[in-house]
Copies of this chain bind each other. A is one copy, B any other.
C-alpha cells in the first residue's frame, strides 16, 4: 500500500515530528511504500540544516535526512511556508526539496492513505 505523510509542526516544539519519524520507519518495515513526506506550516522547520541540538539529544532534522538517504523517501517542503519561516535553499538539510503546493495535491492523489502529524 502507498502511504503519504504530512507534517505540520516544527521539530522542537512538539512531539509530532518524532511520531511522524517513527511511523515512517514502521511503514517501510511493514513492506509498504512511502515515496514522499510533505512538510507544511511550521513543519518546514524540519528542513533546517543549521539545527544543532546538544550531543546525545534527539536530532529530528538528521533523522529525516537519514530516512531520505537510506530509504529513498522524498522530503518535500512548501516554498511559501519555507520562505516566510526563513528556510532557504542554502540552509536545507540533505534530502529536502523546496516545492510548490501543487506537489502536495500530487502526493495526496497518488497515495492510498494519508497520515497527518501536527498539533
- The residue that A10 contacts in the complex, of B10, B51, B61, B88, with Cβ under 8 A, is B10
Mostly helix, strand, loop or mixed at chain A's interface? loop
Across the interface, do B51 and A12 meet the contact criterion of CB distance under 8 Å? no
Asked if A86 is at the interface (CB within 8 A of a chain B CB), the reply is yes
B10 touches A48 (CB 8 A): no
List A residues at the B interface (Cβ < 8 Å). Answer: 9-13, 41-42, 45, 48-54, 57, 61, 80-81, 83-88, 91
Give the shortest distance, in Å, between A22 (CB) and chain B (any CB): 19
Chain B, residue nearest A49 (CB): B86
* Residue in chain B with minimal CB distance to A83: B52
A-B contact pairs, 8 of them (CB 8 A): A12-B42, A12-B85, A13-B41, A42-B42, A48-B85, A49-B86, A51-B85, A53-B84
**Inter-subunit contact A51/B13 (CB<8 Å):** no
CB distance from A77 to the nearest CB of B (A): 14
Q: How far is the CA of A12 from the CA of B9 in the complex (A)?
A: 11
The complex places the Cα of A53 from the Cα of B85 at a distance, in Å, of 8
